[in-house]
Structure 1
């Protein structure tokens, strides 16, 4: 087979261990998964009610335009319907953008550590990659500007950032966008937007008219609790969206996913509840880290990146044995840390008890 040469340097995505796998391996009756930043409160009750009573013509192809969902999102964000692009999760939108723009002749800039799919897709397309290390836990936007050259085509910005949870202040983001040449696409990946509680944070979709070279990514996988349905969306100028639609596969979102996402948009109260509950539990982790004198990144998401004693893989394994699945920082470019999804009050109580045992074992 005549594979792209770059594939020999890459590895397939390796999913985390399932709860059933961990139960069997460690003979546990109960396992809590806090590794994938899923919503521990599930989805809105209106969605569950809809699913219990809906019937669909399974033999009919999906509405490739996502008409109903498109109209609701356009109204929610006060944008034209032609400004919205749907993806099989925001992961697919990242792939669509990369395929549409990147090749061996162009250059792309991204933060590190951050969401690995930016680099993954850029490598497949053969683009030159510049990764800018975080500075004081945040995107170093000045270095982003300094890395721009005449071949730069895309700049990736993860806000809040995964895996650190850090948020870019509005004034810094706008100052950065003012300095980016208009022919460079800036991707603002905002998968965790609904969890932000910073009162000064503004909706970046409102910046599109002022900066038509940006595109904003959102998802239904996190706060909306619809990860299994794989549906994300992007908002940008109609010119950009039209070009990306040339790359998008037809019927890339299934009928049920579009219908469920449309229903989920009707329940703002559920999102408000999840944001408040998550924020309260996030403060527990912050207090815990302070009391135990361990470093934790300042987060505006539904996860925290917390320092561990010793090796991150070893710490993750210890927590696994106690029934808690977390994400080792060794796999995220943050050795010495684990990423923990913020669960329910009960789940977090158990996790923090297990974490305390980890610290005691290591003499901390």
Structure 2
């Protein structure tokens, strides 16, 4: 078999342990999953009603244009329908963008650590990956600009950043965009945008910077991770160039219906954001009380530095029925990333952490 050379040593994405796997391994009945930044409050109740009332025939292909979802999303965002592209989660959108622009001889610039699929997709396309280390959990935009040259095709900016949760201020991102060459595509990944407590109108940047695409998802605050619906917002020209790379019928009937309904229920979104912010504050207080380092987060997760082996901390919490994400796989080997759950779940996590650090003292 003549495989691409660049994929021979490339590992597949390793998801965290499933609830059933942990139940079986540790002989536990109750498991709380706080590893993948899913919405602990589920999705809008209107989604359940909409799915129950579906009369579609599953023998037919879905709407390849995602017309109803496109109309609802454009209306909510205040953009033209032709400025949108819908994909099977933003994972696929990362792949579509990379496939459209990257090849051997080209390079792409990104922060490190950040969302790992940017790098994965670039390697598959045979492009050079240029990583710029975070500074205090934040993008070093000046160094990222320095890494750009005539062979740079894409720059990735994740805000709020995964796994640190740091949100880039508007003044900084505008200054950055002014200095990026106009033939370099900037991808502003806003998967956690709806969790930001005081967001700026990033969509307005598209009118000023035609080389910008913003990506968002229905997997996080909308609580629709299993339906796999993500989308991008950009100039009509960028969308037209990306569409031929997108697979036909890539978003399914159920996902389109669920997302169309979810985006109309902004009261649910606001409620989730407020609860997330309140629960994050409790984590901050706990960390300060127990001398634990952390990054203030604008996402629905918190990265805590235990100054211990991240896998060891994760394993201890697993024995308590708490699934979290070790920082080792995220570029922070002594840290753990914890999804902010419901109030009682967070209390259980903090109680277990207190037990752990008491044992280590």
Calculate the TM-score normalised by the size of structure 2.
0.99
The answer to whether the aligner puts 1:6 opposite 2:18 as a matched pair is: no
Q: What pairs up with 1:1-364 in 2 under 5 angstroms?
A: 1-197=1-197, 199=198, 201-363=199-361
SS at match of 1:246: helix
Q: Which runs of 4+ in 1 moved over 6 A?
A: none
Please say if residues 308 and 335 of structure 2, whose CA atoms lie closer than 8 Å, have aligned partners that are also in contact.
no
Please say if residues 309 and 315 of structure 1, whose CA atoms lie closer than 8 Å, have aligned partners that are also in contact.
no
Query: CA offsets, 1:230-249, max 9 Å, x none?
Result: 00000000100001001001
Q: What's the Cα RMSD here?
A: 0.8
Please say if residues 111 and 132 of structure 2, whose CA atoms lie closer than 8 Å, have aligned partners that are also in contact.
yes
Work out the CA distance in 1 between the residues paired with 2:92 and 2:111: 19
Corresponding pairs, count: 361
Work out the CA distance in 1 between the residues paired with 2:293 and 2:222: 29
Query: CA offsets, 1:12-36, max 9 Å, x none?
Result: 1111111111111111121100000
Work out the CA distance in 2 between the residues paired with 1:96 and 1:151: 19
Cα displacement (A) at 1:206:
1.2
SS at match of 1:260: helix
Work out the CA distance in 2 between the residues paired with 1:203 and 1:282: 23
Cα displacement (A) at 1:203:
2.1
Q: Which moved more, 1:134-143 or 1:52-61?
A: 52-61
Distance 1:144 1:309, change over 3 A: closer
Work out the CA distance in 2 between the residues paired with 1:21 and 1:154: 38
Please say if residues 86 and 232 of structure 2, whose CA atoms lie closer than 8 Å, have aligned partners that are also in contact.
yes
Cα displacement (A) at 1:121:
0.3
Work out the CA distance in 2 between the residues paired with 1:189 and 1:318: 32
Query: CA offsets, 1:293-329, max 9 Å, x none?
Result: 1101110000000012421001100000011000000
Query: CA offsets, 1:169-193, max 9 Å, x none?
Result: 1100000000011100000000000
Please say if residues 111 and 133 of structure 1, whose CA atoms lie closer than 8 Å, have aligned partners that are also in contact.
yes
Please say if residues 306 and 334 of structure 2, whose CA atoms lie closer than 8 Å, have aligned partners that are also in contact.
yes
SS at match of 2:207: coil
Cα displacement (A) at 1:93:
0.2
Work out the CA distance in 1 between the residues paired with 2:224 and 2:95: 20
Please, which runs of 5 or more residues in structure 2 have no aligned partner? none
Please, which runs of 5 or more residues in structure 1 have no aligned partner? none
Calculate the TM-score normalised by the size of structure 1.
0.98
